[in-house]
Amino acid sequence: MNDRKMQRRDFIKVMAAGSTVTLLPSVLTACGEKGETGLEAWTGPMPGETDIRRIILSYAILAPNPHNKQPWIIDLTGPESFDLYVDRTRLLPETDPPFRQIHIGQGTFLENAALAAAENGYRMDVDYLPRGIYENTVVENKPVASVTLRKDRAVSKDPLFAQILTRQSNKRTYDDISIDKAILDTLGQTSTAPNMSIGLTNNVAKRGKLAAILAKAMKIETSDKARDLETIAMFRFNEEEQVKFRDGFSVAQTGMGGLMKFVAEAFFLDRKSTEADSSEFGAQAVQITTDQANSAAAFGWITTSGNSRLDQVLTGRTYDRVNLKATELGIAMHPMSQVLQEYADMSDLQREFLAFLGVPEGHTVQMLFRLGYAEPVAHSARRYIPDLIRS
Ligand SMILES: Cc1cc2nc3c(=O)[nH]c(=O)nc-3n(C[C@H](O)[C@H](O)[C@H](O)COP(=O)(O)O)c2cc1C
């Protein structure tokens, strides 16, 4: 390994271990030319916005979604209605070959939308896959949902709405504090579809085994260059990339900030060399995943007996609610999906994982996530609402 590589590895190790971070004067936390940061969406709708569809979309876009791809297209179909489509230019074919996770990300979007509709006095009626359901091998050019908003005095506001601007996927190493069973019970009571269940555990032995599986899964994931490149394509190496693309994720979501982030981005993180040789990236991903998984105070998972496009979308709605409820309870949360993924290299470990959790034959674990206590991290970027709207 050359010197530069070694320095980079050591530096990122320090970062992964969660060292103290110095706060930087704002002059070093570079913004885009027009003062953009990519994070504008996290203040909610534009001041003065009166179009109910745009108000709702401003909250929907903040939903959790795979690699922060933001795979959403909106057709405005009427003054109080819109259709949601998967953006087929924003898929993750290497790590999500059946596009299952992309469809979970449609459900998270719809759940945030429904919460925002209720908050604004609207009932949101959803007609799922109104032009027909399609198979898990394709994403057809058909809407995932037709949404109709109806002003309704009887609609009740949902307290989870208040968490939308705060919710995040927190990828820090979590504090060594246990989570009470009562909190897990509350999260476990999140509404589900009839064929869906939520599993949760804070058991030490189970956590240890799951952490070992997750580290192994990341090792498998990063053993393939095409998969690495798909992930690297969504990694934002500096603020300039974040402002330019307004999607993806960066070291900021692992808790790195201030001077450390500045130094990392200036001297150690470099798109060209990482793409040319992704072995270092893979090794770091395994190390960081190991630390993240070992620090989990609990794990949760959402299982469905079926695995249709509708099951996947409904999983997204439930996952979003669990994430928002955890936010309300002051609990950090972070999906760890590698072992759930459907490419051939993962199938042996996935079988071991499903057997360990006692998942019935043929059922699908749609989401797996860790829970714990941690300081918040920086939010990830979002695009502008007009960028989602096709017509
Ligand atoms: C279906 C799905 C799978 C995800 N899998 C992972 C994962 O394996 N690892 C990870 O770090 N984050 C994962 N995430 C979290 C996303 O990276 C995160 O939602 C996205 O970057 C946006 O960030 P935010 O949730 O903080 O707004 C997943 C999210 C969803 C909805």
Write down the pLDDT at residue 268.
78
Residues 48 and 26 in one domain: no
Q: 236 and 115, same structural domain?
A: no
Residue type at 223 in one-letter notation: S
Domain total of the chain:
2
Distance between CA atoms of 89 and 118, rounded to whole angstroms? 31
264 CA to centre of ligand 1 in angstroms:
22
**Element spanning 122, H or E:** strand 122-128
Query: Is the CB of residue 168 below 6 angstroms from any atom belonging to ligand 1?
Result: yes
CA 234 to chain centroid: 12
Is any ligand 1 atom within 6 A of the Cβ of residue 372? no
- CA gap 221, 346 in Å, rounded: 8
Supply the pLDDT for residue 26: 32
Q: Residue 391 has what pLDDT?
A: 79
Residues 252 and 355 in one domain: yes
- DSSP-assigned letters across all residues of 13-46: HHHHTT---PPPPGGGS---TTS--S-GGGG-SP
Taking the chain (391 residues) in runs of 10, the rounded mean pLDDT of each run is 54 47 35 79 97 98 98 98 98 98 98 98 98 98 98 97 98 97 98 96 98 98 97 95 97 89 83 93 94 98 98 98 98 98 98 98 98 98 97 79
Dist. CA 22–CA 18, nearest whole Å: 12
The owner of tokens 């620090």 is: 295
- Would the CB of 104 count as within 6 Å of ligand 1? yes
Based on the fold, state whether residues 217 and 127 are members of the same structural domain. no
Question: Which of 67, 165, 377 has most ligand 1 atoms within 8 Å of CB, for mutation?
Answer: 67
User: Is there a single domain that holds both residue 153 and residue 142?
Assistant: yes
Residue 368 identity (one-letter amino acid): L
DSSP 129-189: STT----TT---SS-SEEEEEEE-TTPPP-GGGGGTTT-----SPPPS----HHHHHHHHT
Residue 332 forms beta bridges with which residues?
Answer: 372
Q: Is the CB of 231 under 6 A from ligand 1?
A: no
* pLDDT number for residue 18: 42
342 and 194, same domain (yes or no): yes
Per-residue pLDDT, 259: 83
pLDDT of residue 28: 35
| Residue range(s) defining the domain that contains residue 217 | 3-32+167-372
Closest Cα to atom 17 of ligand 1: 67
Which atom, in ligand 1's list, is nearest to the CA of 62?
A: 27
DSSP 63: S
Q: Which two tokens stand for residue 175?
A: 């504090």
Question: What is the C-alpha to C-alpha distance for residues 65 and 377, in angstroms, rounded to an integer?
Answer: 17
Give the contacts of 154 (CB within 8 A, at least 6 positions apart): 123
Instruction: Look at residue 9 in the predicted model and tell me its pLDDT.
Output: 56
Co-location of 308 and 197 in the same domain: yes
Question: Which pair of structure tokens corresponds to residue 11?
Answer: 């530096």
Does 99 sit in the ligand 1 pocket, CB within 6 Å?
Answer: no
> Does residue 205 sit in the same domain as residue 350?
yes
How many Å lie between the centroid of ligand 1 and the Cα of residue 308? 21
Å from CA of 4 to ligand 1 middle: 30
Residue of 40, 62, 65 to test ligand 1 pocket, by largest number of atoms within 8 Å of CB: 65
* Residues 116 and 151 reside in one and the same domain: yes
Both 114 and 137 in one domain: the answer is: yes
* d(CA 171, ligand 1 centre) in Å: 9
Q: Is 68 in the pocket of ligand 1 (CB under 6 A)?
A: yes
CATH label of the domain that carries residue 53: 3.40.109.10
**139 and 95 both lie in a single domain:** yes
What is the Å distance from ligand 1's center to 1 Cα? 31
How many angstroms is it from 64 CA to the middle of ligand 1? 6
Tokens 């999260």 label which residue?
187
- The ligand 1 atom at the shortest distance from the C-alpha of residue 379 is 26
DSSP H stretches of helix in the chain: 3-16, 52-60, 100-119, 181-188, 204-221, 225-234, 239-245, 258-263, 271-276, 279-294, 309-328, 347-357
- Using alpha carbons, select from 349, 344, 362, 363 the residue that is nearest to residue 302: 363
Atom of ligand 1 nearest to the CA of 171: 11
- Do 68 and 216 sit in the same domain of this protein? no
pLDDT at 12: 55
pTM (predicted TM-score): 0.93
- SS3 at position 381: coil
